[in-house]
């Protein structure tokens, strides 16, 4: 149980005190009423004796009476009504509330944070580490107590209001004060009248109430003298007469009202009566007026609750110091401490009413006279009267029962013999209605026991109670027996020195008898209250809790609530505190308080229990407690507490059903709406629903993407629908860096930062983002509905704060005023500031049950400055299924806000940051609004989604400046520059519109018949090629270099299908600038991602071989070309299309070449169909002769020019040296390894010789030898495909590239599917010195080209001449640029067969030989072996020309 202000002994002694009645004359009452008091009220603060009293027991032993209190009340002949008693008890509990405003410390006790109030112990005491130890120390400490004064008030009023019963005499009157004023004409007559009135009330039989202890009631005559208005001498003479008439011990002269005039303003008189007048006492009829006033005050407080009262959540362990000097009940400061325990609540009973002054006519001397009067009455009147009656009763009992002379001396005899077996309650008959006559010896024993108990003679009282108990049980008078058992147990406990243990079983039997047999819950409750206090004092908290819980029933909610609360305190005061049981019983107590109408106490109980249940995962229990706290707080006009409680229900992941959650939400909306109505102009409070995931908030700067219109497709750019991809973000940043470097003449500015249009938790948000004035920004907010019921958000918009700033002025611009739309949004006028920033309002936004949904809110700034998005504002409501109540449901919404607070990334750079938790800023919601910038929109017309590999398609691109400022510096960068081209500067742009070009070829064509190759010289610079690198950034020409506001530019765009099949993502980055320099934004970009699906088309393989033909007879041009060198090119084309694109067949329409040294000369295929047709899986072979470019073409001006040679196989020539064919040739894939090194120039060779003279010979030799076998020749195969689509035949065209690099080595277009490379373990080897650069044998074999000239057939008459000699010429050609030594071995054994020659660079030498035959036949003349070596080298190598092909000759015999 909670700690009380009194000890258990004091509590029990004050519960059973001698009762004294008062009868006053009218004049005497008038004298006391000058002080606004009745006579009993006048005496009440002084009814506790300050000195010890003494009396002698029947054994003539002195009994010391300490701290005796008497109860003086007016005579009330009306029996108390049970309904009135219940009402008074309820009012007493309501009037006593927990003290507020006391300092509280939160101490962590294990898993629980308990709110404890104490004035000396700090919250950081180290011995609070163990929560059980802490609670044990608190519960056992004499310095710290958890008080429940409302329980003490209830208990005190309950014990005072108990009706007097016939089975006991504790509540019967022992004496009667007869009070007469000295102002009476004949005071003795008034005393006689009052004495007769008392005798009539007691003995006439007309009144059954009040009860009198003994027939001969002590009458004490009091003469009341008003000093301020009376004759003191007359009063003294009357008093002398009284002493003669009634004896000196039976009368008293009390002088009061000695104050003359009103008290001065500086004089402070004590008012000891105020704390007692609020106590409800039903014994005195004279107090009814005051009592009714108190009742009205209390009911007015309960019914009209003051909204300013706040019920603080005070834990049951919230302590008071009993040693506090001002604490009522401290015997050193308050003499009458037993009746001062409720002083704390007096000021709140009648709020607003001026307190009534009491004792205004009394001085401190009068207080002392009253105190002396009470002492004289007790010591000289009451105690002797009680002593005399105890002796008389003892003598009567001894003589009547025939016992020994003294009952006290016979105690051992009674208890020494065998005990009488007690029958159980179940065996006893229901004799609760049995009544004894007043003179029955059993009642006389009980009367004697009660008298002994009242004067603290507990040993004799116990003996008498025990004797009476046995007599009553033998008579089966159960009511009498239960009373004796109860008081016997109490007497045993109160005996000094504890000669015997407390008989708790007596109490249990008494309670069971009262409750079950006698059906008297009032007596059972009194018994339980006494026993629980005794058990608590003995630290038997478990037994006390069990006893209190058993006393709960349905007949009284208030009693059950109080007892359950005390049981909860018992659980927490155990040696091992049972915190959860405490919380559970506090919940039960709060429920019963609520049923009893005690809303404040119910709220307090729930709040205290919440401290235990909170945060432990018991969500259903938390929901119930919070819901009840919310309702009770709202009933008590504490809407803030109610809103907070309902908020907890809604924000946690509730396990309630949808119906229950809907009820919670409706309650919350109703409470919240009632709270927000009086404060419409104030700031909007935070709403708990729906949950806003601030970290997932995304911000987009720019317009919404446009939808495709027919063949017109807008650039994809960036939008909130796109998921963030770190690799893509890095790719876009690299592209932007490339184009910025080109725009800034090759260097990237130090302050460069990639443009970020969409900010999220994945992007770097440490810097302030930039937005452009008059361009919208979108904030995507993620909502999550944790409930199982839908939520409706209406009038949803953003809250913002904006500071105007003019960036056009120097020093960073001038700062203006700060504007916010919070007030306008609170008044549901979010669009009031649209002239500064247009705020979009979403009329209705529904979030389904347990749904996560995003809302995109738009702002359009109209001025430059700094913008801060603060949060969102909306009306929160719920959907009602019943449409008939739509009007009511529309009213059930509340307006509030939620702030968007985003935590930045954790800082982890410095040592201080690593050792602490610090977070950087996140600026995504704080953009800087910059001055106007151009805004580009790009549209693609006839842009395909699927292409064949190598297919050429012509599309159009349109650039539109949709801003109000001009645009310049338009460039585009791409991850696949080989995929597209805008054409060269000299390209013919006709036709100029997409409609005119719909059925035209993408190539420039000429009608011509098949013939030798048409040759064209082209500079790579004309197509944007500088050096060996491919162009990654293309500058788009604008008229005058500027695209004005609202202007559009439409230019053609050629596309070429990727060489690999599959799906390809191709990224375009369009870069542009403004004419006027912007201090914040230097440029802007527009992104576009195209997805192309490439299908198989053709596979091309090519091989270059040396031609054995040497200059001979023929045309001059041919001889010169042969002299320059020629070779054969074999082209193998295969149709690998599987008809998935509807392709019927491919036509090879033209083969072109591009090189700086070689060109295709003519096609040497057999005559026939020149236009090769390839159906599915068919293969065609083509053979071409290639020659070196003419010497006059390779002038110094044309060293870097490419020679394009076109060999058309039909009647139409495609000019390959123009757009788009040449563009895609120059933009083809990365060059192969030999091309990376380039051609070594003479200057470079000389420089190298000077740097490394030791290896100069080997390096030059290797270069010379390698060039003999190198071929830099690119083959371009142009084709057309016939496709059937939608029952229409379409003609597709395209081109494939094959790069020939080495003679004899096959080259092919890119494979359609590259096999995945297997993972290879890394092997770490030491760096070896680079090997000496020496030519390989294969390279040396190509130094010399040989050719045999002989007749194909030769006729010889072998019969006439046996030896046939045929002239043969062996032509040797030096293919290198160095001097070569040659050895010809004819492989004859009998004569000289070797010839040694030395050939100058590119010299052609003919060696005349003769072939000898002895008979006719077919012979191979290709037997001579030719060896060659460089003149400076010692390595000899056999040429490979001898085995190139057999040289057959036919010898005929004639």
DSSP assignment of 439-498, as one string? T-HHHHHHHHHHHHHHTT-HHHHHHHHHHHHHHHHHTT-HHHHHHHHHHHHHHHHHSTT-
Percentage of the chain lying above the pLDDT 70 cut: 76
Say whether the peptide bond before residue 210 is cis (omega within 30 degrees of 0): yes
> Is 815:835 a contact under the CB 8 Å cutoff?
no
Residue 52 CA: distances (Å) to CA of 67, 248, 773: 7, 21, 94
Q: Compare 1242 and 406 and report the one with higher pLDDT.
A: 406
Instruction: Give the Cβ contact number of residue 1015 at 10 Å.
Output: 17
pLDDT attached to residue 1194 = 46
pLDDT attached to residue 1391 = 52
Q: In the structure encoding, which two tokens stand for residue 550, read together?
A: 């058993």
Question: What confidence category does residue 1055 fall into, taking pLDDT thresholds of 50, 70 and 90?
Answer: very high
Kindly report which listed range (24-33, 197-206, 243-252, 1397-1406) carries the lowest average pLDDT score: 1397-1406
First to last CA, the chain: 147
Question: What confidence category does residue 810 fall into, taking pLDDT thresholds of 50, 70 and 90?
Answer: low
Residues pairing with 894 in the sheet: 876
- CA–CA distance, 866 with 1080 (Å, rounded to integer): 12
For 424-444, what is each residue's pLDDT tens digit?
Answer: 444 444 445 578 888 888 899
* Mean predicted confidence (pLDDT) in 454-465: 92
Sign of the alpha-carbon torsion through 1269, 1396, 1427, 1373: positive
Q: Residues 6 or more apart from 429 whose CB is under 8 A from it?
A: 476
For 558-600, what is each residue's pLDDT tens digit?
Answer: 999 999 999 999 998 888 888 889 999 999 999 999 999 998 8
pLDDT attached to residue 1454 = 83
User: Quick one: 523 exposed, middle or buried, by C-beta within 10 A (0-12, 13-18, 19+)?
Assistant: buried
Residue 1205 sits at φ, ψ, to 5 deg, of -120, 125
Residue 593 CA: distances (Å) to CA of 100, 562, 1312: 20, 8, 84
Q: How far does Cα 1379 stand from its chain's mean position?
A: 84
Strands 1158-1163 and 173-181: unpaired
Sign of the alpha-carbon torsion through 134, 139, 141, 145: positive
For residue 1142, pLDDT over 70 is answered with yes
Q: What is the dihedral of CA 863, 864, 866, 872, to 10 degrees?
A: 30
Q: Which segments of 97-186 does DSSP mark as H helices, in order? A: 131-140, 149-160
Q: Which of 623, 618, 589, 626 is nearest to 316 (CA)?
A: 589
Question: What confidence category does residue 292 fall into, taking pLDDT thresholds of 50, 70 and 90?
Answer: very low
Q: Compare 490 and 436 and report the one with higher pLDDT.
A: 490
Residues pairing with 1068 in the sheet: 974, 1088
Residue 1166 CA: distances (Å) to CA of 624, 1127, 1128, 1207: 98, 18, 15, 15
Q: Residues 6 or more apart from 354 whose CB is under 8 A from it?
A: none
pLDDT attached to residue 562 = 93
> Is 174:213 a contact under the CB 8 Å cutoff?
yes
Q: Residues 6 or more apart from 1323 whose CB is under 8 A from it?
A: none
Q: Residues 6 or more apart from 1333 whose CB is under 8 A from it?
A: 1255, 1258, 1259, 1262
Question: What confidence category does residue 264 fall into, taking pLDDT thresholds of 50, 70 and 90?
Answer: low
> Is 170:162 a contact under the CB 8 Å cutoff?
no
Kindly report which listed range (193-197, 315-319, 397-401, 1362-1366) carries the lowest average pLDDT score: 315-319
- Angle between helix axes 619-635 and 639-651 (nearest 10 degrees) is 160
Residue 1071 CA: distances (Å) to CA of 704, 714, 825: 19, 16, 39
- CA–CA distance, 838 with 859 (Å, rounded to integer): 6
Highest average pLDDT, of 12-16, 301-305, 1313-1317, comes from 12-16
For 825-838, what is each residue's pLDDT tens digit?
Answer: 777 776 778 888 89
- CA–CA distance, 708 with 374 (Å, rounded to integer): 106
Q: In the structure encoding, which two tokens stand for residue 1329, read together?
A: 């010195």
> Is 1074:1411 a contact under the CB 8 Å cutoff?
no
Q: In the structure encoding, which two tokens stand for residue 1424, read together?
A: 């001579």
- For 1277-1334, give the DSSP string: EEEEEEEEETTEEEEEEEEEEEEEEETT--EESPPSSPPPPPP------PPPPPPP--
For residue 215, pLDDT over 70 is answered with yes
Question: What confidence category does residue 344 fall into, taking pLDDT thresholds of 50, 70 and 90?
Answer: very low
> Is 295:91 a contact under the CB 8 Å cutoff?
yes
pLDDT attached to residue 430 = 44
Residues pairing with 1035 in the sheet: 971
Q: What is the dihedral of CA 446, 448, 454, 459, to 10 degrees?
A: -90
Q: If you average pLDDT over every residue of the chain, what do you get?
A: 77
Q: Running DSSP on this structure, what letter comes out for residue 372?
A: H
Q: Residues 6 or more apart from 392 whose CB is under 8 A from it?
A: none
Q: In the structure encoding, which two tokens stand for residue 428, read together?
A: 């006893």
Question: What confidence category does residue 765 fall into, taking pLDDT thresholds of 50, 70 and 90?
Answer: confident
Q: Residues 6 or more apart from 710 whose CB is under 8 A from it?
A: none
How many Cα atoms sit within 13 Å of 900 on the Cβ side?
A: 27
- CA–CA distance, 540 with 536 (Å, rounded to integer): 6
The strand order across the sheet containing 251-256 reads 71-74, 19-24, 173-181, 218-226, 251-256
Sign of the alpha-carbon torsion through 1207, 983, 978, 1233: positive
Burial 659-680 (b: 16+ CB within 10 A, else e): ebbbebbbbbbebbeebbeeee
Q: Which of 276, 221, 219 is nearest to 244 (CA)?
A: 221
- CA–CA distance, 235 with 575 (Å, rounded to integer): 64
> Is 892:669 a contact under the CB 8 Å cutoff?
yes
Question: What confidence category does residue 1331 fall into, taking pLDDT thresholds of 50, 70 and 90?
Answer: low
């Amino acid at each position: 149980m909670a700690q009380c202000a009194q000890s258990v002994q004091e509590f029990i002694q004050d519960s059973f005190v001698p009762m004294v009645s008062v009868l006053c004359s009218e004049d005497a009452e008038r004298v006391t009423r000058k002080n606004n008091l009745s006579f009993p009220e006048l005496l009440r603060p002084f009814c506790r004796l300050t000195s010890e009293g003494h009396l002698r027991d029947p054994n003539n032993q002195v009994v010391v009476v300490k701290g005796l209190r008497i109860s003086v009340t007016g005579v009330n002949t009306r029996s108390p009504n049970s309904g009135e008693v219940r009402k008074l008890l309820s009012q007493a509990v309501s009037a006593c509330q927990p003290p507020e405003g006391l300092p509280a410390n939160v101490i962590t006790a294990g898993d629980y944070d308990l709110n404890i109030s104490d004035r000396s112990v700090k919250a950081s005491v180290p011995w609070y580490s163990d929560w059980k130890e802490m609670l044990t120390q608190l519960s056992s400490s004499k310095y710290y107590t958890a008080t429940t004064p409302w329980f003490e008030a209830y208990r005190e009023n309950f014990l005072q209001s108990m009706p007097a019963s016939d089975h006991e005499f504790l509540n019967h009157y022992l004496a009667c004060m007869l009070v007469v004023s000295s102002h009476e004409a004949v005071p003795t007559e008034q005393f006689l009248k009052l004495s007769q009135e008392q005798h009539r009330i007691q003995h006439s039989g007309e009144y059954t109430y009040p009860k009198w202890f003994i027939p001969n009631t002590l009458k004490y005559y009091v003469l009341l003298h008003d000093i301020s208005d009376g004759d003191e001498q007359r009063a003294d003479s009357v008093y002398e007469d009284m002493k003669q008439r009634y004896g000196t011990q039976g009368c008293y002269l009390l002088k009061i009202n000695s104050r003359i005039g009103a008290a001065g303003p500086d004089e402070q008189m004590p008012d000891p009566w105020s704390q007692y007048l609020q106590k409800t006492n039903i014994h005195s009829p004279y107090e009814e007026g005051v009592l009714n006033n108190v009742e009205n005050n209390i009911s007015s407080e309960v019914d009209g609750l003051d909204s300013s009262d706040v019920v603080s959540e005070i834990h049951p362990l919230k302590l008071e110091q009993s040693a506090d000097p001002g604490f009522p009940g401290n015997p050193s400061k308050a003499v009458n401490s037993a009746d001062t325990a409720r002083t704390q609540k007096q000021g709140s009973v009648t709020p607003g009413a001026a307190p009534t002054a009491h004792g205004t006519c009394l001085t401190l001397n009068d207080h002392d006279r009253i105190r002396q009067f009470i002492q004289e009455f007790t010591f000289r009147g009451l105690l002797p009267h009680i002593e005399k009656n105890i002796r008389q009763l003892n003598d009567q009992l001894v003589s009547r029962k025939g016992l020994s002379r003294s009952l006290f001396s016979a105690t051992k005899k009674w208890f020494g013999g065998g005990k009488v077996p007690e029958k159980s309650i179940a065996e006893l008959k229901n004799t609760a209605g049995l009544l004894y006559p007043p003179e029955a010896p059993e009642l006389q024993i009980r009367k004697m026991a009660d008298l002994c108990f009242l004067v603290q003679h507990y040993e004799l009282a116990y003996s008498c109670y025990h004797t009476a108990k046995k007599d009553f049980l033998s008579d089966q008078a159960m009511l009498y027996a239960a009373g004796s058992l109860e008081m016997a147990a109490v007497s045993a406990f109160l005996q000094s020195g504890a000669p015997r243990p407390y008989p708790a079983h007596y109490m249990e039997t008494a309670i069971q008898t009262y409750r079950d047999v006698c059906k008297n819950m009032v007596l059972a409750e009194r018994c339980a209250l006494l026993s629980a206090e005794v058990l608590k004092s003995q630290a038997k908290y478990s037994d006390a809790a069990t006893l209190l819980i058993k006393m709960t029933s349905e007949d009284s909610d208030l009693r059950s609530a109080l007892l359950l609360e005390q049981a909860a305190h018992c659980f927490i005061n155990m040696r091992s505190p049972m915190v959860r049981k405490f919380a559970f019983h506090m919940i039960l107590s709060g429920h019963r308080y609520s049923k009893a109408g005690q809303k404040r106490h119910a709220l307090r109980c729930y709040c205290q229990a919440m401290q235990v249940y909170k945060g432990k995962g018991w969500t259903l229990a938390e929901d119930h407690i919070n819901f009840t706290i919310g309702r009770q707080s709202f009933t008590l006009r504490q809407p803030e507490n109610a809103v907070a409680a309902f908020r907890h229900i809604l924000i946690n992941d509730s396990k309630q059903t949808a119906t229950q959650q809907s009820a919670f939400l409706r309650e919350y909306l109703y409470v919240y709406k009632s709270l927000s109505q009086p404060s419409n102009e104030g700031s909007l409070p935070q709403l708990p629903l729906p949950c806003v995931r601030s970290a997932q908030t995304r911000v987009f700067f720019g317009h919404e993407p446009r939808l495709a219109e027919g063949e017109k497709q807008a650039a994809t750019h960036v939008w909130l629908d796109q998921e963030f991809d770190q690799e893509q973000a890095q790719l876009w940043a690299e592209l932007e860096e490339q184009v910025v470097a080109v725009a800034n003449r090759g260097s990237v500015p130090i302050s460069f930062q990639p443009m970020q249009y969409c900010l999220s938790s994945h992007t770097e948000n440490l810097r302030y983002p930039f937005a452009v004035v008059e361009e919208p920004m979108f904030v995507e907010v993620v909502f999550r509905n944790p409930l199982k019921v839908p939520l409706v958000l209406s009038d949803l918009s953003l809250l913002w704060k904006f500071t105007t700033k003019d960036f056009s002025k120097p020093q960073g611009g001038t700062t203006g005023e700060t504007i916010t739309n919070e007030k306008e949004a609170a008044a549901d006028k979010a669009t009031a500031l649209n002239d500064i920033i247009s705020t979009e309002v979403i009329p209705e936004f529904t979030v389904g049950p347990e749904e996560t949904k995003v809302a995109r809110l738009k702002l359009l700034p109209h001025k430059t400055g700094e913008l801060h998005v603060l949060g969102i504002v909306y009306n929160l409501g719920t959907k009602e299924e019943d449409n008939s109540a739509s009007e009511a449901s529309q009213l059930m919404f509340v307006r509030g806000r939620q702030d968007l607070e985003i935590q930045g990334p954790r800082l982890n750079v410095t040592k201080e940051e690593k050792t602490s938790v610090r977070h950087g800023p996140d600026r995504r919601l704080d953009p800087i609004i910059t001055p106007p910038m151009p805004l580009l929109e790009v549209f693609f017309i006839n842009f395909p989604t699927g292409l064949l590999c190598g297919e050429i398609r012509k599309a159009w691109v349109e650039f539109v400046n949709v801003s109000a400022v001009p645009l310049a510096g338009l460039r585009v960068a791409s991850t696949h520059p080989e995929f597209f081209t805008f054409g060269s500067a000299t390209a013919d742009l006709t036709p100029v519109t997409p409609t005119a070009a719909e059925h035209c070829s993408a190539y420039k064509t000429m009608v011509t018949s098949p013939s030798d190759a048409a040759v064209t010289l082209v500079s790579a610079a004309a197509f944007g090629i500088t050096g060996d690198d491919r162009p990654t950034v293309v500058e788009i020409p604008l008229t005058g270099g500027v695209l004005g506001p609202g202007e559009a530019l439409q230019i053609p765009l050629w596309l070429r299908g990727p060489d690999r099949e599959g799906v390809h993502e191709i990224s375009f980055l369009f870069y542009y600038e403004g004419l006027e320099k912007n201090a914040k934004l230097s440029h802007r970009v527009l992104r576009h991602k195209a997805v192309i699906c490439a299908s198989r088309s053709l596979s091309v393989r090519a091989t270059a071989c040396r031609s054995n033909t040497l200059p001979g007879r023929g045309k001059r041009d041919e001889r010169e070309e042969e002299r320059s060198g020629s070779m054969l090119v074999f082209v193998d084309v295969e149709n690998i299309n599987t008809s998935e694109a509807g392709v019927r067949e491919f036509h090879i329409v033209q083969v072109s070449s591009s090189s700086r040294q070689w060109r295709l000369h003519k096609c040497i295929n057999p005559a026939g169909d020149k236009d090769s047709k390839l159906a599915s899986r068919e293969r065609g072979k083509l053979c071409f002769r290639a020659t070196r470019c003419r010497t006059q073409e390779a002038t110094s001006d044309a060293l870097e020019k490419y020679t394009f040679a076109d060999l058309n196989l039909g009647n139409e020539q495609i000019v390959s040296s123009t757009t788009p064919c040449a563009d895609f040739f120059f933009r083809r894939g990365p060059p192969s390894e030999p091309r990376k090194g380039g051609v070594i120039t003479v200057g470079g060779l000389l420089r190298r010789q000077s740097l490394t003279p030791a290896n100069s010979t080997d390096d030059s030799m290797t270069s010379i030898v390698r060039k003999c076998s190198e071929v830099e020749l690119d083959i371009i195969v142009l084709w057309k495909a016939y496709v059937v689509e939608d029952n229409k035949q379409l003609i597709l065209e395209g081109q494939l590239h094959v790069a020939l690099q080495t003679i004899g080595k096959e080259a092919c277009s890119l494979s359609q599917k590259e096999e995945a490379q297997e993972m290879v373990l890394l092997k770490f080897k030491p760096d070896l010195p680079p090997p000496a650069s020496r030519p390989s044998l294969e390279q040396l074999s190509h130094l010399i080209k040989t050719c045999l000239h002989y007749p194909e057939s030769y006729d010889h008459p072998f019969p006439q001449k046996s030896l046939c000699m045929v002239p043969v010429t062996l032509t040797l050609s030096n293919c290198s640029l160095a001097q070569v030594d040659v050895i010809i071995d004819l492989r004859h054994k009998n004569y000289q067969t070797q010839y040694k020659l030395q050939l100058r660079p590119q010299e052609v030498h003919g060696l005349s030989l003769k072939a000898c035959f002895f008979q006719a036949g077919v012979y191979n003349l290709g037997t001579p072996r030719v060896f060659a070596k460089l003149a400076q080298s010692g390595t000899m190598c056999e040429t490979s020309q001898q085995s190139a092909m057999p040289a057959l000759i036919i010898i005929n015999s004639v």
